[in-house]
Chains A and B, each alone.
Chain A
Amino acid sequence: MSATTDIQSTVEGGFAKRTLRQRLVGANTFWIALVLLALIVVFTVIAPEQFATLFTFQTLLIETSVLLVLSVGMTFVIITAGIDLSVGSVLIFAGMMCGKTMEWLCGGDATSAGWGVIAIGLVAAVVSGTAWGLLNGFLIAVAKIPPLIVTLGTMGGALGAAYLLNGGSDVRSVPSALNKTLGYGTSFGGVPNLVIVAAVITLVGAWLLHTTRFGRYTYAVGSNAEAARRAGIGVTGHLLKVYLLTGFLAGIAGFMSLAYYASTTITAHTTDNLNAIAATVMGGTSLFGGVGTVLGTVIGVFIPAVLKKGFNITQVQDFWQMIAVGAVLIAAVWFDQRRRRARNSR
């Protein structure tokens, strides 16, 4: 291995790519993947009968689908050195708009609505999510207000607006056609449809971030906005698009959540924003910007979910999950800071 490397670096005159092993060990994602793998192994050993079952993994995947979609958007935002606290509220607002639109189209009860109505509901969810994203993006990129403050404001704004839309109560008449297909249906012999949608969105997100110009600019803006501006990149426009994308994904997540729970679940998503941020950061995306992967975020979404499921099965009170996730989160940021300091002292 090392002999090959030596020859190669001589030939290349010092421009060699690192070996696969060097790159693996150097990647945050690799270590966090090991943590996830270790968790799965430990729970499998403790409770093989209950944990390592198809059913466990099916429910695990379904329960993480909505959060995964939010976290993919969050990954883009955090790579630009931003933050979006509003995703959970936007999810609820989008679900509410979708539910209300479908009820209105059916004159009250949407339970037996057809696919035409559902499609219009989807458009309502996506448009309202994107609209909040546009507002966030405008205030952050154009008005230059710090993202923490803007999205703290829109977090309250979107939730309040969602409450106002239906007098503070949930919309519960969701088309059963939607609930049966996207919510509980499966394809390809047992893969939940909700998971397929989340997986497709994640793959498209990974493609966008890692192979396209849009992704490259996302990293550049987060790494050094001034350098990006000087290189002729439209930083304002790009930030606007990134927040727009996150709002768009929150809209889709709202639609997925409505399909799954058959209710707008107003009170259930208030910590989704923090869960998405925790998952993204745990997955190796740096809060200082410029660093992050979609794969890392996927792993970061699954660590809390596996912990919770594992604790449930092994009958440990699952409040421990919150403590464990908190500790892992702080450790992840600590490592990131140490890495940065070590680098900057060169």
Chain B
Amino acid sequence: MSGPVLLDAQHIVKHYGSVEALRGASFQARAGEVTALIGDNGAGKSTLIKCLSGAEQPTSGRILLDGGEIHLDSPTTARRLGIETVYQDLAVAPELDPAANLFLGREIPRRGILGRLGMLDKAEMRRRAVEEFKRLGVTLQSTDVPIGSLSGGQRQSVAVARSVVWASKVVFMDEPTAALGVVQRERVLEVIRRVRDEGIAVVLISHNMPEVLSVADRIEVLRLGTRVARFVAADTRLEDLVAAMTGALTQDEEVA
């Protein structure tokens, strides 16, 4: 279970004016593993994810992907490098159907002159969408209803699918199960496991510690803008995580 380090963020610093959101935070994610990023509110999780997905630019620090340094000046750049993000909210267009959402911003044009005029190949997109949903274990009653008429879990599954279908390296998921019920949450976690099994590095932000322990392979803990602890999930107890988050336990990772 120890794939190579795929994404390696080193000593990331991020200032917002005089506020120091990240004070030299490091973070590593490995291919084929789910790495959970946890921490109390204000620990800098979201800021770190934003820096690593191109939504914000760090004040200083290095980001390595596959060993080479990368500069993420926009989410589009990150996407081109195979890094996708699932947002907690605002992720889908509720009036469009699942296939349209899956291909949003990446529509398949028709062949030939019609495609050059901007016509879309809806049948091909629907066919590929059904294929991808099946592969990821997302079940839908129908593919031609607006996504807003689906249940919350299905909607979120489509949102997750939309990112992972296009991710070739890393997927960030910011609280993907926050608004879901138990059954729906399990369904999303199942999708996360499948994605991991395909060799993609999954980074999961969650406040739900049992969920983190059940789905994550590794856990990294942020506190006050720096990484304070790293765990392998298999031999970690809930108490350790809480201790690390609150500052009762530190592994002095950043000093080393």
Contact = CB atoms under 8 A, between A and B. Distances in A.
B118 interface: yes
Interface string A162-182: 000000000000000000000
A16 B95 contact: no
Interface string B214-246: 000000000000000000000000000000000
Interface residues of B, number: 39
Contacts of B117: 212
Contact of A219 (B96, B133, B142): B96
Interface of B: 75-76, 79, 85, 87, 90-96, 100, 104-107, 109, 117-120, 122, 130, 133-134, 139-146, 148-152
Contacts of A208: 118
Contacts of A216: 96, 100, 107, 120
Given A15-B143, A17-B144, A232-B76, A213 B149 contact: no
B93 A290 contact: yes
Given A230-B90, A344-B148, A346-B149, A17 B95 contact: no
A158 interface: no
A346 B91 CA distance: 17
Interface string A1-27: 000000000001111111000010000
Contact of B92 (A14, A17, A224): A224
Interface residues of A, number: 33
- Where chain B touches its partner, the secondary structure class is loop
A123 B92 CA distance: 41
A223 B95 CA distance: 6
Interface in A227-286: 227-228, 230-233, 286
A39 B90 CA distance: 42
Contact of B104 (A17, A233, A346): A233
Given A15-B142, A23-B144, A230-B87, A213 B94 contact: no
A185 to B, nearest CB: 30
B75 A230 contact: yes
Given A216-B96, A227-B92, 16 more contacts: A12-B130, A13-B134, A15-B133, A15-B140, A15-B142, A16-B141, A16-B142, A208-B118, A211-B120, A211-B122, A219-B93, A219-B96, A220-B96, A227-B104, A230-B87, A230-B91
A32 B145 CA distance: 20
B33 to A, nearest CB: 25
